[in-house]
Amino acid sequence: MTTSHQRPISFLVRMKFAEEDRSEIQAMLAPLTEGSRKEDGCLTYVPHWVEGESATLVIYEQYRDSAALEAHRASAHFQQYAVSGLYQKMRERSVEDLIAAA
């Protein structure tokens, strides 16, 4: 019997907002980050403002597996603060999927 070990799912989400929305974005980020970090399958959830681009936010996320990522996206805090909050304010969004090198 062969068993396979699934690597954690890691990615960066990059979002750009209007400069005047930064404080509102920051206010949504706090409960989104807190709720995400409490999820059983969330290994890492770290939002960053990009130095020199004050309206650009990058979030590094890592989940135990695809089920954990699905649970994150279905969570009440994600729906409230990301889908109904950040996504409504963002001007651009891109996602970079990552593969651990070691």
Q: What share of the chain is helix, strand, coil (3-state, %, to 5)?
A: 40, 35, 25
Distance CA 32, CA 77 (A): 6
Let me know: does 11 contact 96? Beta carbons within 8 Å.
yes
The predicted-structure confidence for 15-73, as pLDDT tens digits, reads as follows 999 999 999 999 999 999 999 999 999 999 999 999 999 999 999 999 999 999 999 99
Q: Which pLDDT score, from 0 to 100, does residue 100 have?
A: 83
The pTM (predicted TM-score) of the whole model is: 0.90
Q: Which pLDDT score, from 0 to 100, does residue 28 have?
A: 97
Q: How confident is the model at residue 101 (pLDDT cuts 50, 70, 90)?
A: confident
**Domains of the chain from N-terminus onward:** 9-95 (3.30.70.100)
Distance CA 17, CA 54 (A): 9
Kindly tell me the sign of the dihedral angle through the C-alpha atoms of 37, 43, 49, 51: positive
